[in-house]
A and B are shown apart, each in its own frame.
Chain A
Amino acid sequence: MTSAAPVVRLAGVHLRYGRTAALDGVTVDVPAGCMVGLIGPDGVGKSSLLALVAGARAVQQGQVEALGGDMGSKRHRDLVCPRIAYMPQGLGKNLYPTLSVEENLQFFARLFGHGTAERRRRIDALTRSTGLFPFLDRPSGKLSGGMKQKLGLCCALIHDPDLLILDEPTTGVDPLARVQFWDLIGRIRRSRPGMSVIVATAYMDEAQRFDWLVAMDDGRVLATGTPQELMAHAGAATLEAAFIALLPEEKRRGHAAVEIPPLEDSGGADIAIEARGLTMRFGDFVAVDHVDFRIRRGEIFGFLGSNGCGKSTTMKMLTGLLAATEGDAWLFGKPVDPKDMATRRRVGYMSQAFSLYGELSVRQNLVLHARLFHVPEPEVPARVDEMVRRFGLADVLDTLPESLPLGMRQRLSLAVAMVHKPELLILDEPTSGVDPIARDNFWRLMIELARRDKVTIFISTHFMNEAARCDRMSMMHAGRVLDSDTPAALIARRGKATLEDAFIDYLIEADGAGGVVAEERTAPAENRVTPHTKPTRGRRFHQSLGRIYSYVWRESLELQRDPVRATMALVGSLLLMFVMGFGISMDVENLRFAVLDRDQTPLSRNYALNLAGSRYFSERPPLADYAELDRRMRSGELSLALEIPPGFARDVARGGAVQIGAWIDGAMPQRAETVSGYVQGMHQLWLLEQVRERGGRMRLGAAAIETRYRYNPDVKSLPAMVPAVIPLLLLMLPAMLTALAVVREKELGSIINLYVTPITRIEFLLGKQAPYVALAMLNFLLMCLLAVIVFDVPVTGSFPTLLAGAFLFSLSATGMGLLASTVTRSQIAAMFLAMLGTLLPAIQFAGLINPVSSLEGGGRLLGEIYPASHMFMISRGVFSKALGFADLHSAFWPLLIAVPVILGAAVLLLKKQEA
């Protein structure tokens, strides 16, 4: 701690998110080469501070220095980035849940440019020392919380950093795993003494063991110093008490230590909850393994255990949310039955996540719950008032819960769970994320409920001091209850000083020797790649390709494991092509018509036959009268009705004026126009036939027009549609999928790897783009196959020309997706933008329906430069017009220019830091 230069220095740092200030003038020097803790409850700015130091977030105001340089400067960030490792908050936030442990590690190792052998050696060494080695094949999403954190640590350590930044690495992890985690860090530090570690934590007991602490509240530094200094300064015995003492006066007001009146023994025979052999399996995974316990009425019963140990699952089985695979449970002496509405009314439940209706006001939430629990209608207002008074919600009655502070929301959740006066409350980690004062207040409310109202409380927690407050408790680990008793008895049974030590003792016993990490040589320090030597240009290029490849490889793996996106990517365009090919057809065939024949002569029948004989019309049973005509036209059965007047044959023979009536169904105007054209055509043909048969002579017109339908002589829809649909689908879907691929990372948090690893923006984008270009090309080939085989649309021109065009086009299509992703934050928005941004101009301005040459002004300009215009030309040229490269080369240049322009814009708009 005596080392000269501080590893991190902050001076006057301010950081705002919109209107809220996350950091409000932080000035602190962090000593190098030691273990530094950042303490304080959630939301005080710890994570923001660490993100600034790691370079993941852009500096807004003030000076941030790390490893001897300004983190505001891009040059310095690029230089020190390989020396800093950052593990963000949240279990496995920067990991990829569908990738296995091995694949995650491989990905990070590749990003830092290690060779194959080096990667193997490092991965093996790290996973052996963390006990992850046997789980290399397991998807990281299926690891327990402690294992996820270890994997996160392995990923962070894969490149031998000089500064390790850990943001709440142990929150929600069981104490044994925590102990192991800190042991691991300790060993690593011993082997690399120069490394500095900065850790944010919410556990005060943990912080007690650090070398140096920074206590924070409300974006400000309260105090710094060694734990002993802080406690001495506040005159408190524990760090938690010291922290509370350090808080400003108005926050501390009214705070006193929680006191628990003893439980009056009411005889003990009255059991609220009983579980025997309760088991829950998901596939082969045993979430809860033969759990037994009994909770007496009026008792506060605690479940202590890490995240994912089966606490929530057990509670869900008791509430009937999940049906137990095996075993039995009783509530108030009755077996748990999800269909039993009467028992549900006696239970109140508050789940882990805050789960009230954010769109309903506080009052509406209370009223809705009261009514759904069938509180008699006249009593509802009084009941709501009572809850409001008791839980101190009067000031916020008409606000939306989302705008309330966390502690207040927790009280509201409790009020909602209590509104129907249940005899039993099941609370699943109700206090996670709340600061110590709010937590104590919450406990006071609970104690009052238990002691005064005799409500039985079943609560789960991962905080030791909360478990210690319970009347009795169970320790849970890996689906099993290790032991149940009063906290004092449990401590005594193990002969330990604290509940935590007792719990660890139980855990070690439960896991047996196999679970304990073998002490072995850690340091993956030998032969380390020295990142400080200046790489040659060739080597740099090689490394860059390696990083691109590592993103391509990872993206492909992830896509394979996401069924919905993979389906969309593979068959989406084929499905849509089918639909469009069959649906958007302008051909009208088999039009149903019927005749009201009042003449009934061979000639009148001949007229009808003339129509029925063509492929455009199919005849239905004849009509008897106008009423039938009306009815059958109204029902939509007939698109055309003909009336042949009486005396038709006679009048034709005489050459008198004869009129055939034709009614067309005008409901669908486009079809009606086609029908009208057909009928007129057939009529003329019939006339000609008649004239010829009678030996008459046709009078020639003054001139004739000979129409040549070029490229599509039969004027069929499909040969015209298909060459236009293929580019359209080649544009829309790849753009959307690429946009999703980037924005997904933003939503899930793994975008952080772009911010803190050496990958550059262009490498990141190219790596993201490449798999989708490959997919687009695959789809393109499939669509061409579909066109030729199913739709019978031949390729008349040069296919290689089309292929080359499609390749350039899919580069710009995916590029547009990347562009859309840089300006959106949510996946839904990215989808919308990519779809609108590609489809609209392609349909309106790119010559799909009307050629670009018939546009004017801005639309014309857009049409001229939009890549889709040129792709339509290439596609139509090759499919229908029998053209080759020589005829179409002028359409290639704009495509060629568009690719770097679009990609360049995406690179410029993409941020390498969070703003």
Chain B
Amino acid sequence: MRHHLMNIYRLGIKELWSLRRDPMMIFLIVWTFTAAIYMAATTMPETLHNAPIAIVDEDASALSARIASAFYPPRFTQPARLILNEVDPGLDAGRYTFVLDIPPNFQRDVLAGRSPRIQLNVDATRMSQAFSGNAYVQQIVMGEVNEFVQRYRGSTVPPVDLALRARFNPALEQSWFGGLMEVVNNVTMLSIILTGAALIREREHGTVEHLLVMPVTPTEIMFAKVWACGLVVLVAATLSLNLVIRGALHVPIEGSVLLFLAGTALHLFATTSMGIFMATLARSMPQFGLLLMLTLMPLQILSGSLTPRESMPELVQNLMLLAPTTHYTELSQAILYRGAGLDLVWKPFAYLLVIGAVLFSLSLARFRKAIGQMA
């Protein structure tokens, strides 16, 4: 037993040395846990920036001029003036996302209290812009109209008030979400790449064969890679959480970082095993790269770290229960954003443990079988 542990320890140290001498990998680790996080947090697509808008002013009144002048950069472009039959070609060509049509006699009808209608055409093929922009346009137009009519801003208090409060992220800051989820996704990506590349490198250099004639077992070799690569990612994630997320981005972390790291360790157990498995399937680095594309994208996009799981089809949701990323995303969101304790997130922990154990044994079986052919 002592021999086994010593071998695992020494082989793991060797992995760390190899990694230290691989500038590309070091760069990848540093990049994914610093700049990539920072960029993901700060450049989350602003839903409305320079949204192209055009106005058809059939009224040519003081009010319509007032409305037109209420749209300006950076939210909107300077509105283009169109005549009615330019609207459809403009929208068809995708030149404008919004076209506001102010009908003739609009000002007169407003003042007469006839509640005239303004038509807002939205190019709904541009989902995000159309969706959030619509509310802004309505708000701006109504604001101008009301002010014009009543000479004051505001609206009457409705009889039943709805007091809306956002918990855990009161100002709904995108960067809180983008930054942390990038950490979560990069943990998955990097752990698979590191372990997979470590194995493929040994195979390409013929050192696997060398290891196998020594008094070490395949189980020891695999455990060594799992712990070494897992540790690197865990340390990088910890540093990134403290220096980039808390330090540079000033994102508050609600829950226990320690609990999150425990969850990460469990997740790494599963993903590093996966890396080994994929490296036994691929015959070379390029094949591994292609395999990675085919597996990593679904694992990340469908895990709930990008869009909520509820909006995916039932079948996809159930299938994704088999993926470690789903549970890891769930526990990270619960712990980091909502401050959940183990009493609330024991379920994803349990899932991860089971998935990790299954993946590890599958990989080990596959590794034992494949390693003979690698040598």
Contact = CB atoms under 8 A, between A and B. Distances in A.
A519 B306 CA distance: 71
A368 B172 CA distance: 53
A584 B39 CA distance: 20
Nearest to B20: A359
A851 B126 CA distance: 8
B17 A364 contact: yes
A359 B21 contact: yes
A687 B160 contact: yes
B340 A711 contact: no
A360 B14 contact: yes
A565 B288 CA distance: 11
Interface string B315-344: 010000000000000100110011110001
Given A322-B372, A668-B177, A703-B118, A683 B113 contact: no
B215 A341 contact: yes
Contacts of A887: 89, 92
Nearest to A831: B289
A713 B121 CA distance: 11
A120 interface: no
Contacts of A856: 50
Contact of A710 (B49, B122, B286): B122
A705 B125 contact: no
Pick the most buried of B92, B145, B284: most chain A CB atoms within 10 A of its CB. B92
A321 B212 contact: yes
Interface string A627-645: 0000101111001000000
B361 interface: no
Interface stretch (B265-273, B295-303, B352-360): B295-303
Contacts of A352: 206
Given A669-B176, A703-B115, A831-B289, A635 B340 contact: yes
Contacts of A341: 215, 217
From DSSP, what is the main secondary structure of chain A's interface residues? mixed
Nearest to A282: B373
Nearest to A686: B160
A880 interface: yes
A655 B158 CA distance: 10
B31 interface: no
Nearest to A400: B21
A669 B18 contact: no
Given A369-B214, A633-B338, A579 B158 contact: no
A723 B94 CA distance: 13
Interface string A349-362: 10111111111100
B142 interface: yes
B164 A655 contact: no
B282 interface: yes
A655 B132 CA distance: 33
Contacts of A360: 14, 17-18, 21
Contact of B172 (A564, A590, A669, A831): A669
Nearest to B139: A705
B61 interface: no
A583 interface: yes
B4 to A, nearest CB: 10
A360 B16 CA distance: 10
Contacts of B7: 372
A145 to B, nearest CB: 19
A330 to B, nearest CB: 17
Contact of B290 (A351, A565, A676, A707): A565
Interface string A658-694: 1111111111111111001101100100010010000
Contacts of A672: 166, 169, 172
Contact of A827 (B162, B205, B207, B285): B285
A854 B77 contact: yes
A655 B141 CA distance: 30
Given A373-B214, A633-B338, A635-B334, A828 B3 contact: no
A660 B115 contact: no
Interface string A555-582: 0000000001101100010011001101
B344 A355 contact: no
A110 interface: no
Nearest to A351: B209
Contacts of B128: 586, 849
Contact of B207 (A349, A357, A687, A740): A357
B162 to A, nearest CB: 5
A433 B338 CA distance: 63
A881 interface: yes
A652 B161 CA distance: 11
A850 interface: yes
Nearest to A344: B215
A883 interface: yes
A585 B307 contact: yes
A666 B166 contact: yes
B141 A658 contact: no
B11 A372 contact: yes
A754 interface: no
A569 to B, nearest CB: 10
Contacts of B338: 633-636, 665, 667
A355 B205 contact: yes
A76 interface: no
A709 B122 contact: yes
B154 interface: no
Contacts of B94: 847, 851-853, 872-873, 876-877
Q: Ordered nearest first, which 5 A-B pairs have the shortest CB separation?
A: A666-B169, A854-B50, A666-B166, A712-B124, A583-B301
Interface of A: 316, 319-323, 339, 341-342, 344-345, 347, 349, 351-360, 364, 368-369, 371-374, 400, 564-565, 567-568, 572, 575-576, 579-580, 582-592, 631, 633-636, 639, 652, 655, 657-673, 676-677, 679-680, 683, 687, 690, 699-713, 715, 717, 719-721, 723-724, 740, 744, 827-828, 831, 847, 849-856, 872-873, 876-877, 880-881, 883, 887, 890
17 contacts: A344-B214, A369-B214, A564-B282, A584-B307, A590-B310, A655-B159, A662-B162, A666-B167, A673-B132, A687-B159, A701-B142, A702-B110, A705-B120, A710-B121, A715-B124, A717-B127, A827-B284
Given A364-B17, A582-B316, 9 more contacts: A351-B206, A579-B297, A584-B307, A672-B169, A677-B135, A683-B162, A711-B123, A720-B127, A851-B95
